[in-house]
Structure 1
């Protein structure tokens, strides 16, 4: 017994044994600490992994760190109406920007929404539409079926005029393209009519609207005219893009569908040729559209104009009609040509509009036109 107690005391008193005991307790404590640490880590890792998987499967919108995530129910939706909304004509786009914007067209032809097709009436004028009271009667009661665009001479609308540039040549075509581009911004516009301030309608709105909407052709006048006023205006520098055999003449007043209007505002190739070479006695407004349309879209064009004019006096410009010229019989005559032939096809309506009528003719037009043309229908 005495020997056992002595051995027990020796166990604690021996320096080597004390070191072994302390080492045992140290490793034991380290083991417990590591076990607790690793257990906590794996629990946290499992929770974080679950959160990450939930975010991948159910992503949430990003929000600023200082704000809580916004509920999906209040995220604004950009609907179809925002994409098809018409741009205000009083925009600040340059001509280049306007032509680019208006030339954009969807590839899918069938619209996923309903629209009321409209006719865009575009007036190219020197100043105001002087026969506007007659046109007001024409449009009355048909709101929503038409759009009106007016492009006047820069000197009238207070725009800066470059005296070195002849407004009557290439700039007239630029004005036509500008009118078309603005009208194309409204997707509801499906037919486009270019008229002057000297034009009048020959039928009521319903008749003209129905005729245009049911037409499968465009009405850009094109013909080949020998002599100095036709082929004589051709410039050899236009070859080989435009050959003399392709050169055409016609009235600048036209009617076309949306597809052709898009082609016109998108064209830079042929228009640039006219800008560079159609100068002097060459009048682009009489040749650009007839030549361009005849070359590229002949099968979609009737080759005729919708505007009646009187060339019987053999002058460089059509006859002008004043107050004394306007009678019931005269207006009925303009409407009575019931059989015309264009491109080998007969039509019951030869012209929908007529020109040139002076402002002095307005009073008698207002007297006779409503009944003769049935403008109240």
Structure 2
């Protein structure tokens, strides 16, 4: 019995030993299988992630490059006017940018020449409703630019032709070089629009004397630009000359004229690119030498006398005397007043005598607006 039991006990041990060896081997095989699958899945996931990432990135890169390629190969970016008059250029940068001139005169696109109306003001435009009537119906033939005090914020409605037409400005003092700087700033901003061909300087006290069609034809068909340049021998002419201006400006070159002008694109570029005469006038033409009456007339008479009509298109009344012309209010606006402006004048237009000599007039007070609007259809034709 004892031996049988022993035999039975000895027979159990070999079975237990084989099971203990088989189970760890299978467990190890399963573990290695899961590990292999995990590694394969990880490699596959990394490949998919990289593939889709490239697919997502590549269109982005392509979309960024494509507009630049199209922009470089289109003429539109060079000929379209700025979408906004606000910019961060200083005067040096602005004048440099505005001085770009095409050497080929024939334009390779359809260009409708425009008139740039440049308003040099202190603040509001009290006669704006009259100008609104003047411009109405002539979109595409004009541009408007306003240089006011930097602190002034215009509140024209979106429907107004003056809406968002202010340019970056600086303080301009009467009789000082800062006044000419403001005028040059207006010209430079207007030159950024390549369609602007003629440039008219106006103030908040100016009014139009003719309808837009007459003004546009008068200016566009003229062979000359309109700026006064007179050799005046008295104390208010040659008497203001400073010999320190020589040799760039001699006394025989000295001219005087109205601040209010109309010039073509060529002369506008000449004004904003000038670095020869500007320092002389800045240093040696100070009150009682009023630089805004002498700088442009003298410089343009030296450079391009053959392009000047040597008269202004803006009517003013100096008959009352003093340092400033007469100002007209509500009581002055009568039919007799307009006869005084329109009749009895003869001037030269394209070397021929003409009775229409003035297209604009100044100085008009805000109180004159109501009667001016009443007279506009009959007298001005708009």
**Alpha-carbon offset, residue 342 of structure 1:** 6.8
Preserved CA contact (<8 Å) 1:326 1:364: yes
State which drifts further: 280-289 or 171-180.
280-289
- What is the CA–CA distance in structure 2 between the aligned matches of 1:83 and 1:295, rounded to whole Å? 32
Look up the SS of the partner of 1:138 in the other structure: helix
Look up the SS of the partner of 1:150 in the other structure: strand
**Alpha-carbon offset, residue 156 of structure 1:** 3.3
**Alpha-carbon offset, residue 70 of structure 1:** 7.3
Shift of the 155–226 alpha-carbon distance from structure 1 to 2, 3 Å rule, reads: farther
Partner of 2:197: 190
Kindly report which structure 2 residues correspond to 1:1-377, keeping only aligned pairs within 5 A, or say none.
76-77=69-70, 78-87=73-82, 88-156=84-152, 166=173, 168-337=175-344, 339-341=346-348, 345-375=352-382
Shift of the 350–160 alpha-carbon distance from structure 1 to 2, 3 Å rule, reads: closer
- What is the CA–CA distance in structure 1 between the aligned matches of 2:140 and 2:254, rounded to whole Å? 39
**Alpha-carbon offset, residue 247 of structure 1:** 0.6
Please give the root-mean-square deviation of Cα atoms over the aligned residues, in Å: 2.6
Preserved CA contact (<8 Å) 1:323 1:362: yes
- What is the CA–CA distance in structure 1 between the aligned matches of 2:346 and 2:209, rounded to whole Å? 16
TM-score, length of structure 1 as denominator length: 0.76
**Alpha-carbon offset, residue 89 of structure 1:** 1.4
Partner of 1:52: none
Look up the SS of the partner of 1:141 in the other structure: coil
Look up the SS of the partner of 2:372 in the other structure: helix
Shift of the 339–229 alpha-carbon distance from structure 1 to 2, 3 Å rule, reads: closer
Segments of structure 1 that go 5 or more residues without pairing to the other structure are 1-65
Shift of the 187–160 alpha-carbon distance from structure 1 to 2, 3 Å rule, reads: closer
Preserved CA contact (<8 Å) 2:260 2:312: yes
**Alpha-carbon offset, residue 246 of structure 1:** 0.8
Shift of the 341–211 alpha-carbon distance from structure 1 to 2, 3 Å rule, reads: closer
Deviations 1:299-356 (A, max 9, x none): 0101000011112223322111111110123224422346324796412311111111
- What is the CA–CA distance in structure 2 between the aligned matches of 1:258 and 1:366, rounded to whole Å? 32
Look up the SS of the partner of 1:269 in the other structure: coil
Look up the SS of the partner of 1:120 in the other structure: strand
- What is the CA–CA distance in structure 1 between the aligned matches of 2:239 and 2:185, rounded to whole Å? 28
TM-score, length of structure 2 as denominator length: 0.75
**Alpha-carbon offset, residue 95 of structure 1:** 0.5
Equivalent pairs, count:
307
Preserved CA contact (<8 Å) 1:331 1:369: no
**Alpha-carbon offset, residue 195 of structure 1:** 0.7
